[in-house]
């Protein structure tokens, strides 16, 4: 059973997102998770990372989720409050637990090992009933492909929110953020992801994600695939090489990546990229400039150990 949460602020929202926040235990020493003794607890979750980044840049950001009435849920409620994320749609679920995850530490820039403990979580029980009632409360909706992968009811919620936002004239961004293990088949995953992308204004796939979802190899062709299906803008993440951007009937090109002296942790870089693109577009930047901001924030994030540690404040972003 879910109970309504209190709101940090009642002001109108710039951005609303939906997803599963999780407690993350990061290893403090290299090695397999079975050998590590010491961990640091932080918050994680792709949509929470994006909400955190946007809130730090001064955008009024709300988050739809469910949290268990447990220690992890209480911890995450504190994170939402500390980051200034509007929690009016973060519900307390008395029947299901909050998810958590474990992550290894790597010192060579490689992707860490992650283990998830989220089956049957509170967030996986979200449904259309958790959507805002009445008029859509934000000028922008940010979605990822993780939310519809959690359960049939969260999938229904993601599509409902997309249609609700479109009806209200709000813009929509979509980051596929693929989790193949949560899907029964690659075909089912691609069908859902591409349908959700077709409802979105701005699509943000990684290059390998785009290849998997579209069957096309080049970034230009991946972008064309989504523009053909109704997206206004596509930005394909190219890793250290930057990002390819294209818009319907408009400009296209590559926003070059920024050099990084040392990569500490790659997790969260794509979420940082989304923060840059979404915030830039909402502030009226051209797509090329928004992609460049995405590259800058993504490059900053990989130089910090936690998923959200490197997400900048407005002052830090301006300082470069």
What's the pLDDT at 31?
87
E strand residue ranges, the chain: 2-3, 13-18, 22-30, 39-44, 61-68, 90-93, 100-105, 114-117, 138-144, 171-175, 202-203, 233-237, 242-247, 252-256
Check pLDDT > 70 for residue 205: yes
When mean pLDDT is compared across 81-95, 213-227, 244-258, 306-320, the lowest value belongs to 306-320
Percent of the chain with pLDDT over 90: 79
Cα–Cα distance list, 134 to 137, 138, 164, 189 (Å): 8, 12, 10, 30
Check pLDDT > 50 for residue 309: yes
Give catalytic residue positions. Answer: 271
Residue pair 99/117 in contact by the 8 Å Cβ criterion? yes
Q: Which residues of 243-267 are buried (b: 16+ CB within 10 A; e: fewer)?
A: bbbbbeeeebebbebeebeebbbbb
Check pLDDT > 80 for residue 132: yes
Return the number of other C-beta atoms located less than 10 Å from residue 240's C-beta.
14
What are the two backbone dihedrals, phi and then psi, of residue 116, each rounded to the nearest 5 degrees?
-105, 145
CA distance 285 to 279: 9
DSSP bridge pairs for 234: 203, 246
Which tokens belong to 315?
A: 């002052």
What's the pLDDT at 80?
97
Beta-carbon contacts of 237 under 8 Å, excluding residues fewer than 6 positions away, are 204, 205, 206, 207, 243, 270, 273, 298
The string of pLDDT tens digits covering residues 71-124 is 999 999 999 999 999 999 999 999 999 999 998 987 776 778 889 999 999 999
Check pLDDT > 80 for residue 160: yes
CA distance 144 to 161: 12
Residue pair 52/307 in contact by the 8 Å Cβ criterion? no
- When the pLDDT of each residue in the chain is averaged and rounded to a whole number, the result is 93
Q: Report the predicted TM-score, pTM, of the whole model to 2 decimal places.
A: 0.93
CA distance 86 to 16: 9
State the first-to-last Cα distance of the chain, in angstroms, to the nearest integer: 45
Residue pair 188/182 in contact by the 8 Å Cβ criterion? no
Determine the 3-state secondary structure of 193 from DSSP: helix
When mean pLDDT is compared across 7-16, 87-96, 223-232, the lowest value belongs to 7-16
What's the pLDDT at 318?
87
Comparing 110 with 38, the larger pLDDT belongs to 38
Residue pair 222/214 in contact by the 8 Å Cβ criterion? yes
Check pLDDT > 50 for residue 129: yes
CA distance 201 to 173: 6
Computed on alpha carbons and rounded to an integer, the radius of gyration of the chain in Å comes to 18
Beta-carbon contacts of 262 under 8 Å, excluding residues fewer than 6 positions away, are 109, 303
Check pLDDT > 70 for residue 259: yes
Percent of the chain with pLDDT over 70: 96
């Amino acid at each position: 059973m879910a109970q309504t949460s209190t709101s940090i602020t009642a002001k109108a929202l710039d951005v609303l997102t939906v997803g599963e926040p999780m407690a993350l235990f990061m290893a403090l020493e290299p090695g397999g998770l079975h050998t590590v003794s010491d961990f640091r607890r932080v918050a994680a979750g792709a949509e929470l990372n994006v909400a955190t980044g946007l809130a730090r840049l001064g955008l009024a950001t709300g988050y739809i989720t469910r949290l268990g009435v447990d220690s992890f849920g209480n911890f995450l409620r504190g994170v939402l409050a500390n980051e200034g994320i509007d929690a009016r749609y973060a519900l307390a679920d008395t029947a299901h637990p909050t998810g958590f995850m474990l992550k290894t530490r790597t010192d060579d820039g490689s992707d860490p090992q992650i283990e998830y403990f989220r089956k049957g979580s509170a967030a996986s029980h979200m449904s259309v009933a958790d959507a805002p009632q009445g008029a859509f409360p934000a000028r922008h909706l940010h979605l990822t492909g993780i939310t519809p992968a959690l359960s049939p009811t969260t999938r229904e919620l993601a599509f409902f929110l997309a249609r609700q936002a479109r009806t209200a004239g709000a813009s929509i961004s979509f980051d596929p953020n693929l989790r193949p293990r949560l899907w029964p088949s690659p075909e089912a995953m691609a069908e859902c992801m591409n349908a959700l992308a077709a409802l979105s204004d701005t699509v943000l796939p990684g290059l390998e994600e785009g290849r998997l979802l579209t069957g096309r190899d080049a970034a230009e062709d991946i972008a064309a695939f989504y523009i053909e299906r109704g997206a206004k803008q596509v930005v394909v993440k190219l890793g250290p090489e930057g990002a390819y951007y294209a818009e319907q009937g408009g400009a296209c090109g590559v926003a070059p990546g920024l050099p990084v002296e040392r990569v500490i942790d790659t997790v969260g870089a794509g979420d940082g990229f989304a923060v840059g693109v979404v915030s830039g577009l909402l502030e009226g930047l051209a797509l090329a400039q928004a992609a460049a901001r995405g590259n800058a924030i993504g490059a900053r994030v990989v130089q910090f150990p936690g998923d959200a540690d490197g997400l900048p404040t407005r002052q830090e972003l301006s300082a470069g």
